[in-house]
Amino acid sequence: MLADKLKSLPKYPGVYMMKDSRNEVIYVGKAKNLRNRVKSYFQSNGDDRVYCQFLVKRVDDIDYLITDTEKEALILENNLIKQFRPRFNINLRDDKTFVSIKIDLRKPYPHLVIVRQIEKDGASYFGPYSSSKSVRETIRYINEVFAVRKCSDNVFRNRKRPCLYFQLGKCSGPCCKMIDKESYRKLIDQVILVLKGKNNELIDVLKTDMLKASASLRYEDAAKIRDRVAAIEKTVEKQKIHCMKFVDRDVFGYKTNKKEICIQAMYIRAGNLVDVSSFRFSLKLNNPEESFNSFLNQFYCNNNFIPKEIIAPFEPDDKEVLEELLSELKGQKVEVIRPQRGEKLKLLEMAEKNAENSLNSLTGQGDKIEATLKSMADLFKLTTIPNVIECFDISNIGGKLAVGAMVVFKAGNPHKSSYRRYRIKGVFQTDDFAMMHEILKRRYAKALELNDFPDLTVIDGGKGHLSVALNVLNELAINDHNVISVAKGRKKENTIDRIFLPDNDEHVDLGSDSAELLLIQRIRDEAHRFAITYHKKLRSKAQFQSGDKTKT
């Protein structure tokens, strides 16, 4: 069957999907010529990439889709990798890491909005920022320096009098027409200069306005502008990089060890470095060049901001096709550049140096975590090393607004996109055991359906909570699943946190400073924080709704 497929492959551009004996897609690739590309995998002198020897042994069938152009093949390849997440592809997971700032200048009084998707809707977008923390710091700085509105469109439409920010001098009060549209737009234009990194240009504008205000005897206005200039100048002093050419650039460098590749990204906007981020991928199935090519192809198809220049450590195989696609998405010419000299080469070397530093530091941490997880497997008599750990906790006050929370740690680090929150639906009194039973049954009934189990389940509680977990697994006929519980120590008795295992009446003795206990405590505390945060949110919402009913 496979041999017949290979003979019938067309000589057109397209995308191929390799499948294993279970009919699961294990690799997706694109080609200028489908027949030549796919056949090369199965020839003795064919593809020399390291992972191909592992891949070919597992291929049981091949499907393909013909496209009109290589660009269409590139787009389709990215979409299929997202859809199937094949194990032999580099997969740039969308964990909602990148965020941007959106300003819709078509509105009379625009404001700053944090978004995760860049759309072609006529609004202006600034970023990307590598985390919501980065973008919130930027907005916090802008809100301190510029009196732009902070409320949402819905609140803005319904407000009858100025908010507290207006009283504090941190909002110009556009909701109540305390500022005209032209003056407000001038404020927004200044904010845009900050977001574009044009701080020096903004300082010149503000100093001119300050002199005009002073000459007109508007000393209070002049003093406000002076303070704004001082705040911006402090930011300029902290600027890490300033390039001679005022363009938007993304600079990518990478370094590898025997196991991993670390890609460092530096985001330069209008000549200023605004943010950095790093990405790690396993090299078990790919070589470095293949990994980087796949990463770059996927990176900008995740709705990330596209700069005019992309600085790379080498020219990708499909450089022309990638440039054509990115230029089309951006609406202007985009270049992928491998610099040979000058400023761009220095930026590339800086990215590579930081990638090496990041890789070395992470490798050290990774070795320690790996050793800790192996030790946990021995101490807790687990059937596998707990690379993926789920932890559950309950939060309620007198049984009211009871919630459950699940956090997930992968390789010893939180994997926040996998966190889950649960509203308790079937328990109406204070009964932690019944609540824990409900959320565990909901979670692992779903896990049974999707075959999506962690390596270890941790329950926040003592022997009773562990018994609840074991009962749930028994009810669902789930066998040989690793589960433990962690009970908080008692200060009065001077005891430390205790670990309970199935079929063991006594807890496991771990030293208070043992790496295994510290990791379990970290996971347990994160579950507790996540549950408490959700419970507080529901309480606040309930109190707000109660207050509204009282007023009416």
Residues 415 and 496 in one domain: yes
The C-alpha R_g of the chain, in whole angstroms, comes to 28
3 state DSSP class of 105: coil
pLDDT-above-90 percentage for the chain: 28
pLDDT at 550 > cutoff 50: no
Given the DSSP bridges, would you call strands 456-460 and 498-500 parallel, antiparallel or unpaired? unpaired
Contact present, 428 and 494 (Cβ < 8 Å): no
Answer yes or no: is 448 within a domain. Answer: yes
Q: Specify whether the backbone of 32 is left (phi greater than 0), alpha (psi in -120 to 50) or beta.
A: alpha
Residues 329 and 463 in one domain: no
Residues 393 and 540 in one domain: yes
Say what the pLDDT of residue 158 is. Answer: 86
Query: Distance (Å, rounded) from C-alpha 314 to C-alpha 490?
Result: 58
Residues 285 and 400 in one domain: no
DSSP 116: S
Query: Distance (Å, rounded) from C-alpha 457 to C-alpha 393?
Result: 11
Answer yes or no: is 375 within a domain. Answer: no
Which residues pair with residue 64 across a beta bridge? 16
Residues 428 and 515 in one domain: yes
Residue 505: domain span: 388-545
At residue 239 the predicted structure's pLDDT band, cuts being 50, 70 and 90, is very low
Answer yes or no: is 418 within a domain. Answer: yes
Answer yes or no: is 189 within a domain. Answer: yes
Say what the pLDDT of residue 124 is. Answer: 86
The candidate with the shortest Cα–Cα distance to 437, out of 396, 467, 398, 408, is 467
For residue 541, count other CB atoms closer than 10 A to its CB: 11
Query: Distance (Å, rounded) from C-alpha 70 to C-alpha 292?
Result: 19
Answer yes or no: is 218 within a domain. Answer: yes
Contact present, 98 and 72 (Cβ < 8 Å): no
Answer yes or no: is 376 within a domain. Answer: no
Answer yes or no: is 254 within a domain. Answer: yes
Number of structural domains (the chain) is 4
**Span 349-361, mean pLDDT?**
86
Contact present, 481 and 460 (Cβ < 8 Å): no
Question: What is the residue-wise DSSP string for 243-309?
Answer: -SS---EEEEEEEE-SSEEEEEEEEEETTEEEEEEEEEEE-SSS-HHHHHHHHHHHHGGGS----SE
Of 17, 52, 84, the position where a domain reaches its end is 84
Is 139 exposed, middle or buried (CB count within 10 Å of its CB: 0-12, 13-18, 19+)? Answer: buried
Residues 306 and 425 in one domain: no
pLDDT at 233 > cutoff 50: yes
Provide the token pair at 548.
């509204």
3 state DSSP class of 413: strand
pLDDT tens digit string along 174-218? 999 899 999 999 889 888 887 776 666 677 777 887 888 788 888
Residues 230 and 340 in one domain: no
3 state DSSP class of 339: coil
Say what the pLDDT of residue 47 is. Answer: 53
Given the DSSP bridges, would you call strands 260-269 and 249-256 parallel, antiparallel or unpaired? antiparallel
The candidate with the shortest Cα–Cα distance to 465, out of 432, 506, 507, is 432
pLDDT tens digit string along 330-346? 888 999 999 998 889 99
At residue 34 the predicted structure's pLDDT band, cuts being 50, 70 and 90, is very high
Query: Distance (Å, rounded) from C-alpha 298 to C-alpha 76?
Result: 11
CATH of the domain at 267: 3.30.420
**Which range among 57-71, 234-248, 476-490 shows the weakest confidence by mean pLDDT?**
234-248
Which residues pair with residue 392 across a beta bridge? 406, 459
For residue 1, count other CB atoms closer than 10 A to its CB: 7
**Which range among 241-250, 433-442, 530-539 shows the weakest confidence by mean pLDDT?**
241-250
Maximum mean pLDDT: which of 130-144, 261-275, 407-421: 407-421
Residue whose tokens read 């022997």? 463
Of 237, 270, 286, the position where a domain reaches its end is 237
3 state DSSP class of 372: helix
pLDDT at 285 > cutoff 70: no
Residues 44 and 165 in one domain: no
Residues 110 and 209 in one domain: yes
Of 49, 84, 119, the position where a domain reaches its end is 84
pLDDT at 350 > cutoff 50: yes
CATH of the domain at 43: 3.40.1440.10
pLDDT-above-70 percentage for the chain: 85
Answer yes or no: is 437 within a domain. Answer: yes
Residues 269 and 357 in one domain: yes
Query: Distance (Å, rounded) from C-alpha 375 to C-alpha 397?
Result: 37
**Span 485-514, mean pLDDT?**
81
**Span 23-43, mean pLDDT?**
88
At residue 49 the predicted structure's pLDDT band, cuts being 50, 70 and 90, is low
Contact present, 268 and 249 (Cβ < 8 Å): yes
CA torsion sign for 430, 436, 439, 441 is negative
The candidate with the shortest Cα–Cα distance to 118, out of 99, 92, 94, is 99
Provide the token pair at 292.
């980087």
The amino acid present at 203, given as its one-letter code, is I
| Cα–chain center distance at 296 | 17
**Which range among 30-44, 66-80, 238-252, 506-520 shows the weakest confidence by mean pLDDT?**
238-252
Residues 288 and 197 in one domain: no
The candidate with the shortest Cα–Cα distance to 104, out of 145, 156, 141, is 156
Give the list of residues 6+ apart from residue 117 with CB closer than 8 angstroms, or none.
303
At residue 231 the predicted structure's pLDDT band, cuts being 50, 70 and 90, is low
169-174, long-range: CB < 8 A, 24+ apart: 170/143, 170/144, 171/147, 172/147, 172/148, 174/108, 174/109, 174/149
Residues 105 and 210 in one domain: yes
The candidate with the shortest Cα–Cα distance to 401, out of 537, 210, 552, is 537
CATH of the domain at 396: 3.30.420.340
The amino acid present at 195, given as its one-letter code, is L
Tell me how far CA of residue 88 lies from CA of 20, 203, 492, in angstroms: 11, 51, 54
